[in-house]
A = this chain, B = another copy of it.
Amino acid sequence: MSWKSKVRRVDPYTAGEQPKDPTVIKLNTNECPYPPSPSVAKALKELSEPGTYEKNRLYPDMDASELVNALAAKYDVDPEQIFVGVGSDDVLSMSFLTFFTNGKPVLFPDVTYSFYPVWASLYRIPYALIPLKDDFSLDTERFVNHGPAAGSAELGCMDENGEEHPFTVRSSEDLGGIVFPNPNAPTGLELPIEETEKIIASNPDCAVIVDEAYVDFGGTSVLPLLRKYDNLLVVQTFSKSRAMAGARIGFAIGNRELIRCLKDVKFSFNSYTLNMEAIKIGTAAAGDDAYLQKITSQIIATRENFKGELRKLGFTFPDSHTNFVFAKPPADKITARELFQKLREHKIIVRYFDKPRTDEYLRITIGTDEQMKAVTKALREILGE
C-alpha cells in the first residue's frame, strides 16, 4: 500500500501537438491563422502601464463585468444572461457539473467533441451516445422522439466506468440533459436551426447545451431561440474565430435563471478564474466586431477554395461550416493514416483520429491562402497527380 493506491486512474488526453519548428504548417488544432484584433495589443500595452499593472496585486473582478458587458452589447442580451470561463472547456465542464445532476443519462453524438465523455465520467454522469447518421448528420429523431406518443427510445447508457446498461427514455424527464456541438466537430457539419429547435422544444425538462465553438465561420447561431426557450444554453469561445486560444476565454449565454445556477456552482468552489489580463484583452476583442467579420470572411473564402481543390483531388467530405475540413482521401490511392504521415514529411501537420467511423478521415484546419496552397501542392505530389 501507499498513496499511489488512492490516485485517480485516467486516460490522459492527447492534445494536438505543438511543434516548435516555425517552418512547419500547423493545421492540427483549429487555431486561427490570423492574429487577434489590434485592440488586444493596445489593451496589453495599457495593462503594462504604471497605474494599471499594479492592480495585479488585487483579486480580479469575479464577475468579469467589463467582459460580460462587452459580450452583452455584442450579442444584444442582458449581462445577467452571460457566464464567462477559462476557455469553453471550463464553461462546458462547469455546465455538466451544474445541470446534469439527476443521475440520468446525458445524450450526445457518438462522433463529437472528445471531452464530453471525459467530463461525464469525471463527474459520474451516465451518458448515452447517439450515433450520427451515415452521412455524419445528427440523428435529430433520436434526440426528439422519446415522448410517450412516439413510443420510448431504448438506449445503451454508459456509467462512469464505461460499462453499458439498458435505459428507457419516455420523455426529457428521463434524461440528465443533452449536449452537442453545432456545427459538429470533427465533422464540420451544421444541423439546420429548425432541427436544433425541435430538439430544444421537445426536451423542456432538461438543459440543452449547444456548443457553438465554430459557429462564426458561416454557421447560424441558435441565440435568437433564447427568447423562446428557458432550457437552452449556448456556449461559444474566443479560441477560434477571435484568434485568442492563448488567452483562454469562453462564454455561455442563456436565460438569467440558468446563468445564475452556473454562477452559483462556480462561485461555490472556485471564485476567481479569469485573470485580470484575460478580462481586459477579452473586452477589447469583444468590441471589435469589424475585425471578427474580416478574419472569419477570409477564412470562409479560403475554406471554400480549398474544398474545390480537395474535390478535384478526389477527396470527399461533409460540407464544413467551420474553420476545418474533415476530408476522406480517395480510397484507391491512399489511406488517411498514410496521408497523415506523408503530409508530416512535407512539414504539414493535420489531425488524424484513429477511431471507428473517423479513421478514414483527416481533419485539416483552414490556414491562410498561402498555407492552403502549400497543402494542395503537397496533396498533388503525394497523390501523384
Known: A231-B2, A275-B248. A56 touches B31 (CB 8 A): no
A78-108 residues with Cβ-Cβ distance < 8 A to B are: 86-87, 89-90, 93, 97-102
Would you call A257 an interface residue if the criterion is a C-beta within 8 Å of the partner chain's C-beta atoms?
yes
Which residues on the B side are within 8 Å of A248 (C-beta)?
60, 272-275
Mark the stretch among A133-141, A179-187, A204-212, A312-320 that contacts chain B: A204-212
Instruction: Annotate A1-26 by CB proximity to B: 1 below 8 A, 0 otherwise.
Output: 11111111011110100100000000
Are B278 and A275 neighbours in the complex by a CB distance under 8 Å?
yes
Residues of B within 8 A of A60 (CB): 245-246, 248
Closest to A232 in B: B3
Query: Chain B contacts of A86 at CB under 8 A?
Result: 86, 270, 273, 275
Binds B, one of A45-53, A214-222, A327-335: A45-53
Which positions 258-287 of chain A face chain B at CB distance < 8 Å? 258, 261, 263-265, 267-278, 281
Task: Tell me whether A40 is interfacial, beta carbon within 8 Å.
Answer: yes
Report yes or no: A99 in contact with B3, Cβ–Cβ below 8 A: yes
Residues of chain A in range 50-71 having any CB-CB distance to chain B below 8 Å: 50, 53-62
Are the C-beta atoms of A3 and B45 separated by less than 8 Å? no
What is the number of residues of chain A that contact chain B, defined by CB distance less than 8 Å?
92
In the bound complex, CA of A275 to CA of B277 (Å): 9
> Which of B57, B176, B247, B271 contacts A276, CB < 8 Å?
B247
- Chain B, residue nearest A4 (CB): B257
Residue of B nearest to A177 (CB): B6
Number of copies: 2
The answer to the question of A113 belonging to the interface, with a C-beta cut-off of 8 Å to chain B, is: no
Q: A8-B97, A269-B115, A270-B90 are in contact. Are A2 and B205 (CB under 8 A)?
A: yes
How far is A1 from B31 in the complex, measured between Cα atoms in Å? 41
Binds B, one of A118-126, A190-198, A303-311, A350-358: A118-126
Contacts of A34 in B (CB 8 A): 57
Q: Is A369 an interface residue (CB 8 A)?
A: no
Residues of B within 8 A of A36 (CB): 53-54, 56-57
Residue A35 interfacial (CB < 8 Å) = yes
| Inter-chain contact A268/B13, CB cutoff 8 Å | yes
The 4 closest A-B pairs by CB, nearest first: A44-B48, A35-B54, A246-B276, A277-B277
